[in-house]
Chains A and B, each alone.
Chain A
Amino acid sequence: MPRIPAIARRVPAKWYAAIVGTIGLVVSAFYGGLSPVSHSSVDKGRVDAVIKGGPWNVTVIDARILKSSKDLEVTKPGDRWLVVVATVDVTSDDSRDDLSDAIRLHDVFGLQSAAPNRLLLARDGTDVSYLNPGMPERVGFAWEQAPTAGPLPATVEVNIYGETLRHDSLSGGIVPGNLGWFDRRVIARVAAPVLDKRT
């Protein structure tokens, strides 16, 4: 058993704690532990600018208010459609059917649900099931909105979400290749102009 020097035995334990804590702070400082923390990690995006992410890149074009029609019928009489038009380019290696996860509206009231009610292909108005990699398409993300939401705003804030391709830490992921898209988060917020297309 090594003998502890007498002087070391006289040093109070809290001094040791202070020394260890100081060393910890110094070490963490080298790895950014003392860097200032950003209060808002959401980047401001611009209309018509590509927001690069995964498994899709999104370019917000505009937002439109539409009235109910035969092809786009509201479920509650009097409701209207708030449609965000965006170009979506699938960057993953497989066709995606989860595009409704790509966009949410920020601080918009009177929506029937947080997720868009319909996703429509601008090309022919069909509902989007899959979008293919490397084949960008203009898509309308449509929310049914109650008229009680108030007057039309000049702009709406659109949150663009991205995910990370990685192995599932729990199960190893699902096919293909045991990799999956996880950690969905807002990567940018775009203020889109609102166009009233009801007339």
Chain B
Amino acid sequence: MTAGLGPIRNHRRSVLSAFRGGRIVRRAGHALAIVATLAAGAAITDRTPDADTQQHPFIRSATVGHAVDARTFDVTVLGVRGGAVLGGISGSHDTSGVWVLVRMKLDARTNPVSLGYAVLEDSDGRTYRATGRVDQSILGERSLEPGVPVIAEIAFEVPTALAQDMSLRLAVSPTDQRMDAVAQVRLPITAGQARQWHADKNPLTLAAISVPT
């Protein structure tokens, strides 16, 4: 009797092994799918721009004498001068570096707007805010009206050795320029000029805000 069951057992064994083999293949497929999904996720994450890139400001550049569109206002840098001492209502202010005064024309485009952010940036990305040691009402306080351009001068204090390496950056928000336009103008300052300014002790006077005629 046992001899007669031999082929049946062999058949069952082969079916069982085929079933087990299918299960292994299925499990391997599942594992492969998981690995492929993770790899695809990692590849997408790697290629997705980081938050810095996604939210970076839109830099609009121009040179001195040319208007640059900063979305809500236009700015044209008219000139730059410097010195070692800046005069103010409360007296003269010296500096360990050099004063850089940037003269510019500002023109709101469609709505009243205030200039909240004014820095000089060096080539290493360090930024130097417009000074708070003298009154600079063009920053934050004064509203620019569309169709009424104004000429203003903004004062900055920077290290003498880096003065020839500065770009002006202007924007509306004083704290957050993410995904907003930022006007940038490279300042034409030479190393010799910076040294000369550093040695010049004649107090500079910040020009009053005016309307161009």
Residues of A that sit less than 8 Å from B by CB: 93-95, 97, 121, 123-124, 126-130, 132-137, 172, 174-178
Contacts and interface: CB of A to CB of B under 8 A. Distances in A.
A74 to B, nearest CB: 20
Contacts of B97: 132, 135
A23 to B, nearest CB: 29
Contacts of B128: 95, 132-133
User: Which 6 pairs show the lowest CB-CB distances between chains A and B?
Assistant: A129-B132, A95-B129, A172-B51, A130-B129, A93-B126, A94-B127
Nearest to A90: B126
B48 to A, nearest CB: 14
A175 B175 contact: yes
A132 B158 contact: yes
A129 B155 CA distance: 14
Interface in B128-168: 128-129, 131-133, 157-159, 162
Contact of B127 (A93, A97, A174): A93
Nearest to A137: B96
Given A127-B132, A135-B97, A176-B127, 18 more contacts: A94-B129, A95-B127, A95-B129, A124-B133, A126-B93, A130-B129, A132-B158, A133-B128, A134-B159, A135-B158, A136-B96, A172-B55, A174-B176, A174-B178, A175-B176, A176-B125, A178-B50, A178-B55
Contacts of A95: 119, 127-129
Contact of B178 (A126, A133, A137, A175): A175
A132 B159 CA distance: 9
**Residue among B126, B175, B176 facing the most chain A CB atoms (10 A cut-off):** B126
Interface string B71-96: 00000000000000000001111111
Main secondary structure of the interface of A (DSSP, over half): loop
Nearest to B182: A175
B61 interface: no
A60 B94 CA distance: 23
Contacts of A177: 52
A180 to B, nearest CB: 11
Given A130-B132, A135-B159, A175-B57, A124 B175 contact: no
Nearest to A71: B90
